[in-house]
């Protein structure tokens, strides 16, 4: 093997995509890995404009020219590009060849996996830092909530006309308890008391959930049929939309691609169903947002997929809705972060999803999204 063959072999073996371009940014040479991410075939790639063959370079022609004109290395990190409804991230390095004055080498590295891992680690760190805060807030809120619930129950008891203690005080004051209760009913005071009690109980349940999230070891897992939970969640989500008189989901196509003989996963069925319902509701809201700006021919689609990867079960909930910008996707799992503040969004749906999957079940959930293309939530559950 001569030296030229050796260098050609090295270039072909490199994991990076390598391209050489001339001063007009037309392709002169390309390795096999570069061809894999190009949108033209091998016969047509030579002498083609580099941004025709590699659309992710379209907005960076000037940067490539700087590398050649100034004889310097130019690094473009985290270049975002959507291909076939999937978001990819690339690191692009441009540098001139010393031996050839009019040639620039472009090295393209797909860093999508690294980027997703960094986002996952960052989100996990955020949520862990909130665990102690959640527990502290829960304990502080529990005390006044308990007082509210106890006081409401005491008020109700002291208004009951059949209680001897109430009758004794009423006789001393010459008060007719029956008339008093009729007054409370007609003025809806009893209804207000019931509403206060119900609200306090709901708040108490939220506090209890916060405490459970910060102490996940108290949960008992059981073998779960993930496919069955998904199908039940679809029915629940549809009924929930109907209860809220929202018929938008009726025009959405729901596609199922569920793996047969999917192994059962030791998980928490109620909490896992909550995850799926939250994601289905989120998907339908994203579809509704996109439908508002698309022509009438637009049809919303939600896709649900399950598959086995090694020892893991993977669940993918996708939609072709409005999608998220990179900035929104980074914050999507943050508690109280919402883009629907003026339409009833609380910012708790996706943070609950993250806590259940990552904190309670020890799995992973990640987002892949692009604006006006759609979103995928990829859930990995360990058996």
CATH number of the structural domain spanning residue 375: 3.30.565.10
Q: What is the pTM of this model?
A: 0.51
What's residue 308's pLDDT?
A: 93
Same-domain status, 257 and 347: yes
Angle, vertex CA 85, rays to CA 371 and CA 256, nearest 5: 110
Nearest to 304 by CA among 328, 284, 324: 284
Which of 53, 76, 110 terminates a domain? The answer is: 110
Enclosing H/E stretch for 280: helix 269-291
pLDDT at 8 (0 to 100): 67
d(CA 292, CA 298): 10
Which of these three, 169, 187, 217, is where a domain ends? 217
Q: Total structural domains in the chain?
A: 3
Kindly state whether residues 80 and 187 are assigned to the same domain.
no
Q: Per the structure block, which two tokens stand in for 270?
A: 């109620």
| Shared-domain flag, residues 182 and 100 | no
Domain boundary among 217, 245, 269: 217
Same domain for 227 and 369?
yes
262 and 362 co-located in one domain? yes
Per-residue pLDDT at 134 = 63
Per-10-residue mean pLDDT of the chain, 383 residues long, equals 62 80 86 78 78 84 86 84 74 84 85 75 59 65 84 89 88 89 88 86 71 54 90 85 75 91 88 88 91 90 93 93 87 72 58 83 89 92 86
User: How far from 357 is each of 28, 77, 267, 340, 383, CA to CA, in Å?
Assistant: 48, 30, 10, 23, 13
Nearest to 362 by CA among 338, 344, 381, 343: 381
- Give me 204's structure tokens: 């108490």
**N residues, the chain:** 383
370 in the same domain as 275: yes
Same domain, 150 and 203: yes
Q: At 63, phi and psi to the nearest 5?
A: -65, -40
What local confidence, expressed as pLDDT, does residue 217 receive? 47
For 170, the domain range is 116-217
Judgement on whether residues 243 and 365 belong to the same structural domain of the protein? yes
* Same domain as 140, residue 9: no
Residues 262 and 357 reside in one and the same domain: yes
Q: What's the pLDDT score for residue 314? A: 94
Amino acid 122: pLDDT: 61
On whether both 83 and 41 belong to a single domain, the answer is yes
319 and 281 in a single domain? The answer is yes
CA-to-CA separations, 266 to 83, 269, 272, 312, in angstroms, rounded: 35, 9, 11, 11
Q: At what angle do helices 189-214 and 177-186 cross, to 10 degrees?
A: 70
């Amino acid at each position: 093997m001569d030296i030229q063959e050796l260098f050609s072999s090295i270039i072909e073996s490199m994991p990076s995509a390598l391209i050489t371009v001339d001063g007009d940014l037309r392709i002169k040479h390309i390795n096999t890995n570069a061809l894999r991410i190009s949108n033209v075939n091998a016969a047509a790639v030579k002498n083609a404009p580099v941004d025709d063959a590699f659309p992710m370079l379209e907005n960076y022609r000037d940067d490539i020219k700087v590398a050649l004109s100034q004889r310097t290395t130019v690094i473009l990190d985290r270049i975002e590009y959507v291909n076939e409804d999937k978001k990819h991230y690339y690191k692009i390095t441009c540098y001139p060849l010393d031996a050839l004055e009019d040639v620039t080498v472009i090295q393209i590295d797909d860093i999508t996996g690294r980027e997703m891992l960094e986002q996952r680690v960052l989100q996990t760190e955020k949520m862990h830092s909130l665990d102690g805060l959640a527990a502290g807030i829960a304990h502080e809120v529990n005390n006044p909530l308990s007082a509210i619930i106890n006081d409401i129950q005491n008020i109700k008891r002291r208004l009951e006309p059949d209680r001897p203690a109430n009758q004794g005080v009423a006789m001393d004051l010459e008060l007719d308890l029956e008339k008093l209760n009729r007054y409370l009913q007609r003025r809806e005071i009893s209804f207000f008391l019931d509403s206060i009690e119900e609200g306090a109980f709901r708040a108490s349940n939220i506090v209890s959930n916060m405490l459970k999230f910060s102490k996940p070891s108290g949960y008992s897992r059981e073998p779960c049929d993930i496919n069955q939970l998904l199908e039940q969640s679809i029915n629940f989500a549809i009924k929930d939309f109907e209860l809220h008189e929202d018929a938008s989901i009726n025009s959405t196509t729901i596609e199922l691609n569920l793996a047969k003989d999917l192994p059962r996963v030791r998980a928490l069925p109620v909490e896992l169903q909550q995850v799926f319902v939250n994601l289905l509701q989120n998907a339908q809201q994203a579809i509704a947002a996109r439908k508002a700006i698309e022509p009438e021919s637009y049809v919303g689609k939600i896709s649900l997929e399950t598959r086995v990867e090694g020892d893991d079960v993977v669940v993918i909930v996708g939609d072709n809705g409005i999608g998220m910008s990179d900035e929104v996707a980074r914050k999507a799992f943050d508690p109280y972060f919402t883009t629907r503040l003026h339409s009833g969004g609380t910012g708790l749906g996706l943070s609950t999803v993250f806590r259940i999957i990552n904190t309670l079940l020890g799995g992973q959930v990640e987002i892949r999204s692009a604006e006006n293309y759609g979103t995928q939530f990829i859930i990995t559950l360990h058996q």
